[in-house]
């Protein structure tokens, strides 16, 4: 079925007991040794790093992004599997998806149980990811986990410990894995890919601030004063806060800070419905609504916009593009299944 490159980055799928808790320490070949490889698939392993995913930095993620592009420079590669910690998998996968312009798949996977667990889920997830990478085309970047295939865009970790850890609360999977095949259910809608960014010496700072009862602009203003070039306001409801937060957003924008507006509610879009500090006023103050993307992926969209340009207007345009304002299903390549 093809040649698949596995990029190993650590996470629970590569974790062992350290005396007081689990931590990533296994190399990619050790992880691969636990899984059944689909017939006809050949494997190459790239050990990029081995860390618990909460420790990932923007520099790690940009290194992963560039590595994916370097691997796909080889026309003999049929697809990529990235083994990744589940805590920040949704962010890394979305970053790669924003810059992915190739019909060959990039499939992220991981585990909820550690490497040596007798009933671990890592081997099954890895097998499914390999099968997805070898037999599909035109899906963009996806997440293969617990028998389902999810689009990178919109998919978040929905369970802290359960095996069925990922999903898009506002959408549906793109496929299922079972009986030795991948059943593609739909084609994800994705904007045109962004150009590959450079590797900045110091990546731009992008912070997140959550609104709540009694919240004031103190933390938002502190982030700006600390040098944040981008912010994500995690509002309540359909994207609502207070008049004081609106003023803080306007002041941040006046200082050149790019602001995205999302919500702490699990599912549904940000919507301009309410004034008196609601989304109507926040958007008028310069915040860019994130649609159904939640905080982690909204932050990645802001980061991508900051890396794309130094011009404030162009940054906002790229942010709106990354958030999917003008996504067209017609712009995507057709989903294909590789004949096996």
136 is catalytic: no
Does the CA dihedral 177-158-112-101 come out positive or negative?
positive
User: How far is it, in rounded angstroms, from Cα 246 to Cα 240?
Assistant: 10
Does the pLDDT at position 340 exceed 70? no
Pairing assessment for the beta strands 136-137 and 336-337 based on DSSP bridges: antiparallel
User: How far is it, in rounded angstroms, from Cα 290 to Cα 320?
Assistant: 8
pTM score, whole prediction: 0.95
Question: Helix 312-322 to helix 295-308 angle, to the nearest 10 degrees?
Answer: 140
CB count, 10 Å around CB of 250? 16
pLDDT above 90: percentage of residues in the chain: 95
Q: What is the pLDDT of residues 91-101, one digit of tens each?
A: 999 999 999 99
Joined tokens for residue 3: 């040649």
Closest CA to 308 of 156, 208, 192, 155: 192
Rounded alpha-carbon distances, angstroms, from residue 286 to 34, 262, 265, 268: 50, 13, 21, 21
Q: What is the pLDDT of residues 130-169, one digit of tens each?
A: 999 999 999 999 999 999 999 999 999 999 999 999 999 9
Identify the active-site residue in 12, 109, 155, 263.
12
Q: What is the pLDDT of residues 285-299, one digit of tens each?
A: 999 999 999 999 999
């Amino acid at each position: 079925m093809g040649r698949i490159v596995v990029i190993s980055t650590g996470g629970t799928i590569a974790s062992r007991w350290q005396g007081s808790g689990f931590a990533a320490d296994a190399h990619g070949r050790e992880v691969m040794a636990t899984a059944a490889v689909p017939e006809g698939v050949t494997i190459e392993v790239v050990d990029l790093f081995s860390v618990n995913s909460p420790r990932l930095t923007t520099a790690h993620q940009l290194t992963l992004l560039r590595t994916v592009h370097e691997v796909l420079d080889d026309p003999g590669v049929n697809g990529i599997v990235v083994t990744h910690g589940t805590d920040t998998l949704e962010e890394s996968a979305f970053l790669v998806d924003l810059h992915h312009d190739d019909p060959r798949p990039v499939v992220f996977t991981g585990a909820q149980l550690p490497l040596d667990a007798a009933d671990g889920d890592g081997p099954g997830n890895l097998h499914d990811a390999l099968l997805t990478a070898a037999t599909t085309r035109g899906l963009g970047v996806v997440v293969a986990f617990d028998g389902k295939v999810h689009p990178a865009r919109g998919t978040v970790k929905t369970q802290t410990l359960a095996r069925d850890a990922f999903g898009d609360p506002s959408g549906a999977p793109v496929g299922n894995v079972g009986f030795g095949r991948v059943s593609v259910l739909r084609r994800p809608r994705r904007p045109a890919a962004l150009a590959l960014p450079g590797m900045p010496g110091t990546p731009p700072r992008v912070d997140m601030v959550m609104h709540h009862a009694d919240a004031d602009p103190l933390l938002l203003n502190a982030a700006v004063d600390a040098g944040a070039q981008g912010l994500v306001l995690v509002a309540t409801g359909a994207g609502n806060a207070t008049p004081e937060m609106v003023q803080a957003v306007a002041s941040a924008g006046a200082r050149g800070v790019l602001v995205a507006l999302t919500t702490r509610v699990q599912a549904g879009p940000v919507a301009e419905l309410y004034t008196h500090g609601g989304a109507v006023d926040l958007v008028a103050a310069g915040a860019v609504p994130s649609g159904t993307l939640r905080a982690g992926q909204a932050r990645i969209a802001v980061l991508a916009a900051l890396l794309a340009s130094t011009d404030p207007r162009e940054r906002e345009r790229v942010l709106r593009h990354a958030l999917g304002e003008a996504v067209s299903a017609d712009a995507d390549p057709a989903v294909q299944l590789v004949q096996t």
